[in-house]
Structure 1
Amino acid sequence: MTGLPAAPAHLAVVRPGALTTVQDLGRAGQAHLGVPRSGAADRRSHAFANRLVGNPESAATLETTVVGCAVRTDADRWFAVAGAPCPVAAGGRAVPFGAPFLVRAGETVELGPVVAGVRSYLAVGGGIAVPEVLGSRATDLMSGLGPAPLAAGAVLPLGPAAAAPDATGAPPPGLARGPVLRVTPGPRSGFFPPAAWELLRAHAWTVLPASNRIGVRLDGPALPRTGGDALPSEGMVPGALQVPPNGLPVLFLADHPTTGGYPVIGCVHPADLPHAAQAAPGSALRFRIVPDRW
């Protein structure tokens, strides 16, 4: 019989991994209400995975952390994985990373541990169609908005099947080793003497294990300051490089707080944040000071 709507499609979570969340482009424009943007930490890889399966880049994907995840589909769909490279299998057979592959109903897609970086993005044709919260499907670890991180046995709805997959066009650049992030002076740059700026520029900062979607915590020489330890709370943005009393910078990522009381020495260029989001604990980040305009 024709003319009947297609049956709803779903993903069942077989293995949730260390931290797998639903992410899209986030909740932009609501920071004045205390709502962080959230969304994919590596927006470039998220968008590329969506493009591969024919989704708009606003469609929700699964963001995995370090050890991947496994999900089972109950409908034929195109899948793609981008971001931190990892082995990928579907129905027990190896499938390509960074290219679309067709998965049949009942098959399990498994992402293994990353071989570099931190976060991989699993896109499915039609997108992950969990309910929106304040205009986004993103999981926000700071505020608790959006769906909970994936748990074994959870079932995620999928949207209507997307257009044909698209493997044309250049993929995003590979993961940088020891990336150099552009940083422009922040609103409290005057709290820091020239010696702090020289340390920030010259040192290779080590990513600490306590880093997460909220921010990348860095180890290195303590940055001296000329101002006090704290300020009245003021607005924060993704890329803000905040310096707490211990002098060790914290680079805010997607789930950052909307306000903070420690001085911000600078702000990292938005185009460089995917590199920060893929910096594994123990790896190094460097900063290049640029003028106060991008």
Structure 2
Amino acid sequence: MLTVLAPGPLTTVQDRGRPGRAGIGVGRSGAADRASAALANRLVGNDPGAAVLEVTLGGLAVRADADLLVVTTGARCPGSPVHAAPGPLRAGTTLGLGTPAAGLRTYLAVRGGIAVDPVLGSRSTDVLSGLGPAPLRAGDRLPVGQAAFPPPGVDLAPVPDPPGGEVTVRLLPGPRGDWLTPAAREALGTAAWTVTAESNRVGLRLAGPRLGRAVTAELPSEGLLRGALQVPPSGQPVLFLADAPVTGGYPVAGYVADDDVDRCAQLRPGQTLRLRR
């Protein structure tokens, strides 16, 4: 077992989510930075679908109730001696994560995985729908499962930390790009967009030049995927992340390339994002 002493601003259990259920109105959810979560599981020999803890802006403190093998990935937090380098957390000892200097989300994997009860085939917390386990609270006790594979014997995974400055990602055409004016389409792919404090696991709210519409009619709701860039009437785009809704009624002017959505999940309020076609 792992006992939560302090949850930080937001810590949730996440795995690879609930794929294939959009037809019944259930979003995929899962880790916001899938690459970092997958690396954490590999480093402790877990099944790729094992559940990890997604820690937003540090602050998590946990105590081991038995000897455990743990690792953190993603945003590097002060206080973690096991960042990208798996190591033991002895029974009765505490791991406390400080505030990362760059990046937003840190992943804590425990060998054997976090074995809370699954909901619709996943242990992920979906903050939009409320499916899955509740965000962690002080005093929660988390069961740990059995590992699927032997540890890989890696001392350190040489992966870069998330950047703290401007980030550029690839922009793909969206199904409703023609609903924007030519000037708006140009601005979408050239302007510097600032991540606002209203961003969360559902999506990044971006501030920049107002994107005008060429079509003013109402749009019937259409399917949405992670990475969609939706333009509401405010003209300020929303980039959907892990807990995106399955449908939306505003035009999707573009999609961020799938691999780059993980990088966007590490952006903090105030950082700048550029979208390059």
| Structure showing greater Rg | 1
Distance 1:196 1:256, change over 3 A: same
Equivalent of 1:164, from 143, 151, 161? Answer: 151
Q: Distance in 1 between matches of 2:158 and 2:274?
A: 24
Asked if structure 1 preserves the Cα contact closer than 8 Å seen for 2:45 and 2:111, the reply is yes
Q: How does 1:143-292 map to 2 (within 5 A)?
A: 143-161=129-147, 163-167=150-154, 171-176=158-163, 177-228=165-216, 230-289=218-277
Equivalent of 2:57, from 66, 89, 92? Answer: 66
State which drifts further: 180-189 or 34-43.
180-189
Structure 2: gaps of 5 or more residues: none
1:140 aligns with 2:126: yes
Q: Could you tell me which amino acid in structure 2 is paired with residue 71 of structure 1?
A: V
Query: 2:105 matched to which residue of 1?
Result: 119
Q: Distance in 2 between matches of 1:110 and 1:205?
A: 33
What does the per-residue CA deviation read over 1:62-97, in whole Å, with 9 as the maximum and x for residues that have no partner? 0001133011111111100000111134xxxxx242
Asked if structure 1 preserves the Cα contact closer than 8 Å seen for 2:13 and 2:125, the reply is yes
Asked if structure 1 preserves the Cα contact closer than 8 Å seen for 2:127 and 2:243, the reply is yes
State which drifts further: 238-247 or 109-118.
109-118
What does the per-residue CA deviation read over 1:199-219, in whole Å, with 9 as the maximum and x for residues that have no partner? 112211000000000000000
Q: Distance in 2 between matches of 1:191 and 1:122?
A: 42
Q: Distance in 1 between matches of 2:225 and 2:137?
A: 30
Asked if structure 2 preserves the Cα contact closer than 8 Å seen for 1:68 and 1:114, the reply is no
Q: RMSD of the alignment, in Å?
A: 1.4
Query: 1:92 matched to which residue of 2?
Result: none
Q: Could you tell me which amino acid in structure 1 is paired with residue 228 of structure 2?
A: A
Equivalent of 2:117, from 123, 126, 131? Answer: 131
Taking structure 1 as the reference length, the TM-score comes to: 0.90
State which drifts further: 174-183 or 68-77.
174-183
Query: 1:23 matched to which residue of 2?
Result: 14
1:97 aligns with 2:88: no
Structure 1: gaps of 5 or more residues: 1-9, 90-94, 290-294
**Number of equivalent positions:** 275
SS at match of 1:20: strand
Taking structure 2 as the reference length, the TM-score comes to: 0.95
SS at match of 2:276: strand
Equivalent of 1:52, from 38, 43, 67? Answer: 43
Equivalent of 2:32, from 35, 38, 41? Answer: 41
